[in-house]
A and B are shown apart, each in its own frame.
Chain A
Amino acid sequence: DAGVIQSPRHEVTEMGQEVTLRCKPISGHDYLFWYRQTMMRGLELLIYFNNNVPIDDSGMPEDRFSAKMPNASFSTLKIQPSEPRDSAVYFCASNSRPGGLIKNTGELFFGEGSRLTVL
């Protein structure tokens, strides 16, 4: 079975450029999460979707960041304009709420990450 698929795996860009990161969740999963990994702050949740609807975007650093999920099999995280401090590894993860539970305590399935370097 294919896991969570992210692209690109590596991106090097110059300050001010637009960056788009892509994610395909595991088929059948109805939750999708975007995390950012930095040395200083570890794994931080940026935004998560349930059934393609953004539920909580309070972790999105600022208006330069936006995320969309136009359908159940695709999501994008966009940074425009990019800045050097955005350099990090961006992970996408997906899961489904375990049956019979009110809250989604299911384990996360992570993609391999997109390493972004902004010069």
Chain B
Amino acid sequence: ILNVEQSPQSLHVQEGDSTNFTCSFPSSNFYALHWYRWETAKSPEALFVMTLNGDEKKKGRISATLNTKEGYSYLYIKGSQPEDSATYLCAFMGNFGNEKLTFGTGTRLTIIP
């Protein structure tokens, strides 16, 4: 069983503040890491797919970094807005000969106006 852990489980952030959270995954047999944004009553939507150690990706105010050697990825949100309220999921793909993504249980972010 693969251990993909996200922390914290939930987070309340004041509007305008910046925040970040963590995804930890096995550092051996890494192949790819995904980040998804999941709003309540909707379906998860992809934010980033990262495959190389040291990758940094950015989409507007949201960015992510990847450290495959130590097995973690950070997601950053700059200047939080109410529409950023969602659950953020990471998903790990290992180099195991299959193409399965194992999801973490998510960080639930609430932006306080």
Contact = CB atoms under 8 A, between A and B. Distances in A.
- Bin chain B's interface residue count: 20 to 34
Interface in B88-109: 89, 91, 93, 98-106
A106 B49 contact: yes
B43 A113 contact: yes
B18 interface: no
Contacts, number: 55
Interface in A1-56: 4, 31, 33, 35, 41-45, 48, 50, 55-56
A44 B2 CA distance: 12
A78 B110 CA distance: 36
Contacts of A55: 98-99
Given A43-B89, A91-B43, A113-B43, A108 B100 contact: no
| Interface residues of chain A: helix, strand, loop or mixed (majority) | strand
27 contacts: A4-B43, A33-B101, A35-B103, A42-B89, A42-B103, A42-B104, A42-B105, A42-B106, A43-B44, A43-B103, A45-B101, A45-B102, A48-B100, A55-B99, A56-B98, A91-B43, A91-B44, A103-B31, A103-B93, A105-B32, A105-B49, A105-B99, A106-B49, A108-B101, A110-B44, A110-B45, A112-B42
